[in-house]
Chains A and B, each alone.
Chain A
Amino acid sequence: MEKSDIFNKIIKVIRINTADESITASSSIQNDVGLDSIGWLRCLIGIERVVGIPIAPHTVFRKDIESVEDLCNVILDSLSKAGEDANVQ
C-alpha cells in the first residue's frame, strides 16, 4: 500500500470523526481538528482499524505532532516497525 493511500485513509477517518471534509494533511491538530481528548481516542480506534495495527496510546497527544501530516508520519513509522504487511482496509 502506497504512503499516499495510507495518508488518505487516516485523513478520511479524521474527517469522519470531525464531520469536517476540509481536513487535509496540512491541517493543524490544535487549530483545525475540532476534537476533544475523547474524540481523539475515538479517532485512534478508527485509525487502528484502517491501518491494521495497534498504535501507542499516547500518540495522538504527543506535543511534537503539530499537523495531520506529522500524525500520519508517526503512524507510518509504527507500520514499518511492525515489520509485517499491515492489513490495511
Chain B
Amino acid sequence: MFNNYYDVFESIKGNTENYIDWIKWNGSSYDTVSRTFDDIYHDVMSCYGRVKELGLTQGCTIAFEIENTYDCLLIDSALLLTGVKTIISNKKEKTEILDERSKEFNAQYIITERTSAGANGETVISYDSIINNNGSSFISKPLEFDDDISIMFSSGTTGIPKALGITGDGSIWSSNNFFRFMEFTTADKFLIFMPLSNYQQRFLFWGCLMNNVNISLGNDMTLFHDLVMLEPSILLAPPNFFYNLYREQQMSKDDIIRAALGSKMTYLLTGMAAIDNSVLEFFHDHGNEIYQIYGQTEIGMIACNTKKVNKLGSVGRPIIELNVSENGEIITNSPFPIVSGYYENGSLISRMSKKRGTGDIGRVDESGFVYIEGRINDTIVLNNGKKINPIHIENQLRNLVTAKEVVVYKDKSSGSGSEVTVVIINGDENATLDFVIRNIPEIKSFSDDLRVESVSLDDSVISDFYTENGKFSRKKAIEYFIKAYPWR
C-alpha cells in the first residue's frame, strides 16, 4: 500500500535485485551504467539531504528543468519527498518560457543548467550542486499531500499548452493501478525514453519502483541505441514509432523490426493517438504484438490491452470506471484524479471532478473492450446530415500513400468550395483524388464534394504540428491549412 512518496522510496530500500540502467556517450562510444533500486534509495536520500541544506522546504515553489538523466530523476524524487511544488519544463523550451513560468507561479528557485535563467531574481541552482555534494539526511516521517506536487504543461489533444496541477495521491494511485493491471513482472525492464517533463514518464518511473520492475532510462536522441544496448522488454511509444518501423520493414528483406527492438522485447505498447489496424496486424503477423492502451492527460490510464486480454482495434478493457453517454462520449470516474485542475496566471481556476467527460467518442463491446472512434469536436457533419470520422479516414490513407502526415477536415469558412478537404503532406504521386475515392469506400458517399490536395512543407513548418511527445496535433495542422492555403 503506497500512501505517499515516503512509502514509494522506503519500498525500494534493500532491493539489490532490481535496477535502473542507461547508456552514456563518452565522446566516442556508449558506456552502460547501472544502479540497483537500493542504490536509487541511497542516492535519493543524499539528494534529499542536500536539498534541505539549500533551504528548499515544503511551501517553496521551484522551477525545475528536467532532462532524461538519472541525476534529474534523483533531484525530482528528492523534491517530491521535501514537499516543494515543482514547475516543470525541459531544455528544448526557450529560456523565456522557463522565466515566464517561474514568474507566473512565483518560484523562488530554478533548478537548471542554463546560465541565463533567473531573470526574475530567483536563486538558480545547478544539478551538480545538488548531486555532487554528499548531502545526508533521512526522512523521519512522510509528508501529507496538502497541495499539488507539480505543475506541468501539456498540450493534450488540442496542441495548446495548458498548466495542470498534478496531485500526489492521484499520481501514486494511477501509476500503481496501471502497473498492477498490466501484470508486469520483476524480470521485466521498462524503457522510459519520452521526455520526463511529461508527467506520464515520471509515472512510469514510480510505477516501476512500486512494482519492482527494472528500468532503462533513455531519451529521444538515443532511442534505437537504448533498445539494442539495454534490451528492455517493455516499450511505450507513440504510433509514429511503429509507422516508421512498418514502412522500413516493408522496404527491406532483413528483419528490421527484430533488429530494432532488441532481443528481449515482449511488450510493445502504444497510445497517445490512433494507430491503424493494418499496422497492428502487420506487427501481429511479425510476432511482435502491439497492445493499444488509452489514457488522457487529465485522467491518466483509462483502458489497456494486455497479454491476457487483447483485442486488435480496441484500446482494451477499462482500468477505472467508464461509461458511454447518450451522445457517445466516454465518461470516466477515477477515485484519485491525477490532475487537480487547470491553472492560469499562477492560480487554480477550475477544479477537476472525479467524474469527467473525455471528449472522445467511443463504444464498449459485449466483452467489455473499449473502442475510440474520434473526438466529439472532430466529427464532421456533412450537409446531408451524415457524420464522418476524419481520423478513421486519415488512418486508412496513411497506409495507402507514403506521406509525412495526412489531415481530413471540413473548412467551415465561407467560400471554401469543397465540403471536405484531404491534405496529404509531403506525399507521393499516388495521392490523387481518384486514388483516394477508389480506395476508401466511405469517401464515395461524398466524393462530389471532396478535395484532395498534396502539399510540400519544410520540416520547420511541420515540426510546429507536433507536441513534445511526438503527437501530431490535427488542430494545429488544420488551422495552418485553413489560414495558409485558402483552397479555391
Shortest distance in angstroms between A14's beta carbon and chain B's nearest beta carbon? 13
Comparing B25-33, B314-322, B365-373, B436-444, the segment that makes contact with chain A is B25-33
Q: Does the CB pair B221–A41 fall under 8 Å?
A: yes
Q: Does the CB pair A31–B221 fall under 8 Å?
A: no
* A53 proximity list for chain B (CB < 8 A): 28-29
| CB under 8 Å from chain B, chain A span 6-28 | 16-17, 19
Bitwise, A63-79 to B at CB < 8 A (1) or not (0) is: 00000000000000010
Bitwise, B199-239 to A at CB < 8 A (1) or not (0) is: 00000000000000000000011111100000000000000
| B458 contacts A by Cβ under 8 Å | yes
| A87 contacts B by Cβ under 8 Å | no
Shortest distance in angstroms between A58's beta carbon and chain B's nearest beta carbon? 6
Report, as a range, how many residues of chain A touch the other chain: 20 to 34
Q: How far is the CA of A56 from the CA of B29 in the complex (A)?
A: 8
| CB under 8 Å from chain B, chain A span 27-64 | 30-31, 34, 36-39, 41-42, 44-45, 53-54, 56-58, 61
Q: Does the CB pair A39–B221 fall under 8 Å?
A: no
Q: Does the CB pair A54–B28 fall under 8 Å?
A: yes
Q: How far is the CA of A45 from the CA of B221 in the complex (A)?
A: 12
Report, as a range, how many residues of chain B touch the other chain: 20 to 34
Q: Does the CB pair A42–B470 fall under 8 Å?
A: no
Q: How far is the CA of A57 from the CA of B27 in the complex (A)?
A: 10
Comparing B175-183, B240-248, B298-306, B480-488, the segment that makes contact with chain A is B240-248
Q: Does the CB pair A30–B460 fall under 8 Å?
A: yes
Most interface-central of A17, A30, A36 (chain B CB within 10 A): A36
Q: How far is the CA of A17 from the CA of B248 in the complex (A)?
A: 7
| B358 contacts A by Cβ under 8 Å | no
Q: How far is the CA of A29 from the CA of B450 in the complex (A)?
A: 33
Q: How far is the CA of A37 from the CA of B243 in the complex (A)?
A: 12
Q: B404: which of A34, A57, A82 is its contact (CB, 8 Å)?
A: A34
Q: Does the CB pair B404–A37 fall under 8 Å?
A: no
Q: B402: which of A19, A42, A57, A58 is its contact (CB, 8 Å)?
A: A19
Contact A42 to B221, CB < 8 A, known contacts A19-B402, A36-B404, A54-B28: no
Q: Does the CB pair B244–A54 fall under 8 Å?
A: no
Q: Does the CB pair A41–B404 fall under 8 Å?
A: no
Q: Does the CB pair A31–B459 fall under 8 Å?
A: yes
Shortest distance in angstroms between B399's beta carbon and chain A's nearest beta carbon? 15
Most interface-central of B222, B224, B252, B426 (chain A CB within 10 A): B224
* A42 proximity list for chain B (CB < 8 A): 224, 244-245, 248, 260
| A81 contacts B by Cβ under 8 Å | yes
| B251 contacts A by Cβ under 8 Å | yes
Contact A45 to B224, CB < 8 A, known contacts A38-B240, A54-B29: yes
Shortest distance in angstroms between B270's beta carbon and chain A's nearest beta carbon? 13
| CB under 8 Å from chain A, chain B span 22-49 | 25, 27-30
Which residue of chain A is the closest to B472 with respect to CB atoms? A36
Q: A57: which of B25, B244, B251, B459 is its contact (CB, 8 Å)?
A: B25
Q: How far is the CA of A37 from the CA of B468 in the complex (A)?
A: 12
Most interface-central of A41, A56, A81 (chain B CB within 10 A): A41
Q: Does the CB pair B222–A82 fall under 8 Å?
A: no
Q: How far is the CA of A37 from the CA of B225 in the complex (A)?
A: 14
* A78 proximity list for chain B (CB < 8 A): 28
Which residue of chain A is the closest to B457 with respect to CB atoms? A31
Q: Does the CB pair A34–B240 fall under 8 Å?
A: no
Q: Does the CB pair B458–A30 fall under 8 Å?
A: yes
Q: Does the CB pair B251–A39 fall under 8 Å?
A: no
Beyond the given pairs A38-B223, A42-B244, A42-B245, 17 more chain A to chain B contacts, judged by CB atoms under 8 angstroms and listed by A's residue number, are: A31-B458, A34-B404, A36-B244, A38-B241, A38-B470, A41-B221, A41-B223, A42-B224, A45-B225, A45-B260, A53-B29, A54-B28, A54-B29, A56-B25, A56-B27, A57-B25, A58-B221
**23 A-B pairs (CB sep. < 8 Å):** A16-B251, A16-B252, A17-B248, A19-B402, A30-B458, A31-B459, A36-B244, A37-B220, A37-B470, A38-B241, A38-B244, A39-B244, A41-B223, A42-B224, A42-B245, A44-B224, A45-B260, A54-B29, A57-B25, A58-B221, A61-B221, A78-B28, A81-B28
| Nearest 6 CB-CB pairings of A with B | A57-B221, A38-B244, A57-B222, A54-B29, A30-B459, A45-B224
